[in-house]
Amino acid sequence: MIAIIDYDMGNLRSVAKAFEKVGAAAVVTRERSVLGKASHVVLPGVGAFRECMRNLESYGLVDEIIKAINSGKPFLGICLGLQLLFDEGEEDGPAKGLGVIKGKVLRFPAGLLDASGGLKIPHMGWNGIKKKKDSPFLKDVPDGSFFYFVHSYHAVPDDPSVILASTDYGVEFTSAVEKNNVLACQFHPEKSQHLGLKILKNFKEMK
C-alpha cells in the first residue's frame, strides 16, 4: 500500500489516481498508523517551501517522514516534495527543510536565456531529462524523455552523486535525485502521460 502524505498542499488526488492507474493501492493520509504500515510513502507538494514545512510541522509529520525514510521503505518526493528533502529553501527568506539530502533550494536566476532570447520563470511545461546514472526508478525511460514541470526554484545538492537526472532551462538543474531508498523528481509524473506512469510503476515495484 502506498501512502500519499496529506498536509493540505498539492494535487493529492491526481497523484493517487495516477498510482491507481498503474495498479497500486494508494491512500491519501496524515494518520501516523497508516504511514507506519505503508510499504511505500510519497511526499507530493505544490506551493511555498516555508508554508509547506509549517504544515508538516503543525500536523506532526516531520518525525513520521524521517521515521519512514530511516525504515528503508521506498520514499518518493514530487516537485516541492523533492525540494523539502533538502536542508534549506530560500523562498521568502531562508527556511529550514527536512535535511534528508544536503544542499539548498535556490530560485532560477533572472535573465535566463535560450536560443530565442529569453525564458520565463516559473519554468512551466514539457522539458527533457538527462540521465546521470542508472536506477530502477528510471527503468525503461529513455535518456532525453520529456516530463511536465511547474516550478521557480531548483535544488542544488552538495553531493553531485545523488543527482539522478538533470534538465536544461537556461542553466542545468537537478530534476531527479536518489539517495539510498529516497527518490525524488522535480517534474510531475502524474501529469507526464505514459512515461510519468512508467516512473510511478517503477517506484511501486521497488522493495
- DSSP conformation letters of 137-174: GGTT--TT-EEEEEESEEEEESSGGGEEEEEEESEEEE
Choose the catalytic residue: 40, 123, 151, 188: 188
Cross-strand partners of 174: 166
Tell me what percent of the residues of the chain surpass a pLDDT of 70.
100
Give the confidence band of 111 by pLDDT, cuts at 50, 70, 90.
confident
Report pTM. 0.96
Read off the pLDDT of each residue in 27-55 and give the average, rounded to a whole number. 95
The amino acid sitting at 59 is Y
Task: Tell me the pLDDT tens digit for each residue of 129-140.
Answer: 999 999 999 999
The better pLDDT of the pair 47, 164 is held by 164
Supply the pLDDT for residue 153: 97
First-last CA distance in the chain: 12
Choose the catalytic residue: 64, 91, 178, 190: 190
Supply the pLDDT for residue 158: 98
Contacts of 91 (CB under 8 A, 6+ apart): 48, 49, 50, 105, 107, 153
Please give the distance of CA 64 from its chain centroid, rounded to a whole number: 17
Contacts of 111 (CB under 8 A, 6+ apart): none
Give the separation between CA 107 and CA 133, rounded to whole angstroms: 25
What does the DSSP assignment read for 115-147?
Answer: TTS---SSEEEEEE-EE-S--GGGTT--TT-EE
Which domain, by its residues, includes 167? 2-204
- Cell numbers placing 42: 510519497
Active site residue 79: yes
Among residues 29, 41, 32, 61, the alpha carbon closest in space to that of 1 is found at 41
For 82, counting Cβ atoms within 10 Å of its Cβ (0-12 exposed, 13-18 middle, 19+ buried), the class is: buried
| Contact assessment for residue 156 and residue 51, using Cβ atoms and an 8 Å cutoff | no
Task: Tell me the pLDDT tens digit for each residue of 143-158.
Answer: 999 999 999 999 999 9
Among residues 61, 3, 6, the alpha carbon closest in space to that of 27 is found at 3
Supply the pLDDT for residue 118: 85
Read off the pLDDT of each residue in 107-136 and give the average, rounded to a whole number. 92
Active site residue 190: yes
pLDDT at 115 over 80: no
For 178, counting Cβ atoms within 10 Å of its Cβ (0-12 exposed, 13-18 middle, 19+ buried), the class is: buried
Give the separation between CA 78 and CA 94, rounded to whole angstroms: 21
Choose the catalytic residue: 64, 79, 123, 151: 79
CATH code of 199's domain: 3.40.50.880
Supply the pLDDT for residue 176: 98
Supply the pLDDT for residue 114: 81
Q: How many domains does the chain have?
A: 1
